[in-house]
Structure 1
Amino acid sequence: MKRTFYSNVATYIINKIAALGLLVFIMCIYLILSSEFDLYEFTEYISNINIWGLICGYALVATVLIDLVGYKWIEFTFKTSILLHCLAGFIVFFPFMGIHLFSLIAGGVGALCAFIYTISYYFIKKKKSLVWIALLVFPLLLSIGLIDFTTKKEWIEEKTISSFSAEFERFNGKHGIPIDLEKGDVVTCHISFDQLNEGGYGYHISDSNGELVSMNELEKTDNEYDNKDTNTIQFTAKKRGVYKLIVTGDHLKGKFDVKWKIN
């Protein structure tokens, strides 16, 4: 009896996770289509483990609670179960975002995802062969997320102990500039972009663990950059290690220059 119970519970959990795999797969299809098959942009979407963990964790907790209520107290029809899942997907954003247009749109997307999840679970139970295929989604996405799809065309770089510059015909992705720092070091960086097309660009700082580092935007203080699109930032090293100034490009053509000073 106990063996049958545990077997049923295990099957239930596996089916729920497999249905979640189908949902994530469908979401990834949307993401890669919306990025116009830009693999770098796609991997940036899927590499945010915290966001995906929250989505998957909430989906599993919500669906188990709904099923538990239906099993213990009130028996739901399939349509009622779908409505409850959609409601759970809709209301989750309001405690954090308040009630306004953006939270309503996010709630609509959440309800749609919950609907897809419920239908996926229905098909998973009917088609046992889909279970293991759906479960492959998670390790596959983790593997893809580890690949850097940055592309550089005609990339020419120059670097010194306190500067870095690169000129290129095309830059889509990211490039890290390492800076070795001691705890308490204050770094001031001048970042200049010479943009020759409609591509985008950006930058951020990460520590030796890959975590984002807070930085302050300063007024321009270097006359060398008077005629360029330049930003001056400053950050403090909270611990010893190799920090990285990450410069990003979105199908960008042109050049960027970085100079830094350590105090």
Structure 2
Amino acid sequence: MNLREKLNNKVLEYILNKLAALGLLVFTMCVCTIFGTGFDLYDFTESLSNIMFWSLICGYALMTSVLIDLVSYKWREFTFKTSILLHCIAGYIVFIPFMGINFYSLIAGSVGALCAFIYAFSYYFLVRKKRLAWIFLLVIPLLLCIRIIDFTAKEGWTEEKTKSSFLAEFERFNGKNEIPISLKKGDRVTTYISFNEKNGGGYGYHFLDNNGELVAMKQLEEAYGDYDTSAIQFKAKKTGIYRLVLTGDNLKGEMDVKWEID
């Protein structure tokens, strides 16, 4: 094997170890998230769906770690403890430009420093445990597959649909239910959403366009009649299938939806 091949192999091994350490960090964060949601798989997969959030975390962790290694290689070699400390500082200070120096940025910085410590320590650990490195390389692809699974739970569910209404009764609803509505560009949609909760469960709603982006809505009126009712309105910016997403958090009761298109 010539010098160039050895160099290429070392660079590839370095990249794979960095990605494996990232996988271990993400795995650790996912374990904390699962505990935080009370082992609610629907809430867990919803948190995984925030691609922007995870991309920023992974991108920043990878970028700062490589930069620290580059400085150590080119100018001054850092000890293990110094490298760990620099990673923690990078994880801490990233929130200050956006949040300023206050109680919340201190809390966020502490969490960021902890994540940076886990990432830096994971890299040094996995360099010496190559078999484990291959396992944690699979974490991110596996989570990308898991996030597309819908863990919505419906018990005692009955529903009635028409072209302009939807009514559902249920003993338990935890997750989401989507109602597709076909719209043309310029259509104005007024939607009346009523929830009758019988057990203190949580609920919510939002509209998505045909690209899966949130639709800005105008609140018209709310809290009238026997149910908790909301009236919302928006104008379709383009032709396509829009989706009204109704969400429940271990909810028992019924929901009634009606919409008008002008």
TM-score, scaled relative to structure 2: 0.97
Find the partner of 1:66 among 68, 71, 81.
Answer: 68
Paired with 2:59 and 2:122, the residues of 1 have a C-alpha distance of 17
Q: Which residue of 1 aligns with 2:42?
A: 40
Q: Give secondary structure in 1 for the equivalent of 2:226.
A: coil
Find the partner of 2:215 among 213, 216, 231.
Answer: 213
Residues 35-57 of structure 1, C-alpha deviations (whole Å, 9 max, x = no match): 11111011001111111111101
Equivalent residues, number: 260
Paired with 1:61 and 1:196, the residues of 2 have a C-alpha distance of 49
Within a 5 Å distance, the mapping from 1:159-170 to structure 2 comes to 159-170=161-172
Q: Which residue of 2 aligns with 1:234?
A: 233
- Match of 1:35, as an amino acid? T
Q: Which residue of 2 aligns with 1:173?
A: 175
Q: Give secondary structure in 2 for the equivalent of 1:261.
A: strand
Paired with 1:227 and 1:151, the residues of 2 have a C-alpha distance of 26
What is the deviation of 1:227? 2.4
**Cα distance 1:3–1:53, how it changes in 2: closer, same or farther (>3 A)?**
same
Paired with 1:243 and 1:111, the residues of 2 have a C-alpha distance of 41
Find the partner of 2:21 among 10, 19, 22.
Answer: 19
Q: Give secondary structure in 1 for the equivalent of 2:174.
A: strand
Q: Which residue of 2 aligns with 1:80?
A: 82
Residues 21-79 of structure 1, C-alpha deviations (whole Å, 9 max, x = no match): 00101111111111111110110011111111111011100100011111111211111
> Is it true that 1:251 corresponds to 2:240 in the alignment?
no
Aligned-pair Cα RMSD in Å: 1.2
- Match of 1:184, as an amino acid? G
Q: Which residue of 2 aligns with 1:143?
A: 145
- Match of 2:111, as an amino acid? V
Paired with 2:188 and 2:98, the residues of 1 have a C-alpha distance of 35
Q: Which residue of 2 aligns with 1:202?
A: 204
Within a 5 Å distance, the mapping from 1:1-20 to structure 2 comes to 1-20=3-22
Paired with 2:120 and 2:152, the residues of 1 have a C-alpha distance of 36
Paired with 1:26 and 1:220, the residues of 2 have a C-alpha distance of 41
**Cα distance 1:205–1:92, how it changes in 2: closer, same or farther (>3 A)?**
same
Paired with 1:31 and 1:8, the residues of 2 have a C-alpha distance of 34
Paired with 1:36 and 1:190, the residues of 2 have a C-alpha distance of 32
- Match of 2:258, as an amino acid? K
* 5+ residue gaps, structure 2: none
Find the partner of 1:132 among 120, 131, 134.
Answer: 134
What is the deviation of 1:219? 2.2
Q: How many percent of aligned residue pairs carry the same amino acid?
A: 65
Residues 56-115 of structure 1, C-alpha deviations (whole Å, 9 max, x = no match): 011100100011111111211111101100011111112122222212111110000000
What is the deviation of 1:220? 4.5
Find the partner of 1:28 among 27, 30, 33.
Answer: 30
Query: Is residue 222–residue 228 contact of structure 2 (8 Å, CA) maintained in 1?
Result: no
Q: Which residue of 2 aligns with 1:122?
A: 124
Paired with 2:27 and 2:176, the residues of 1 have a C-alpha distance of 25
Q: Give secondary structure in 1 for the equivalent of 2:151.
A: coil
TM-score, scaled relative to structure 1: 0.96
- Match of 1:118, as an amino acid? A
Paired with 1:206 and 1:4, the residues of 2 have a C-alpha distance of 50
Q: Which residue of 1 aligns with 2:189?
A: 187
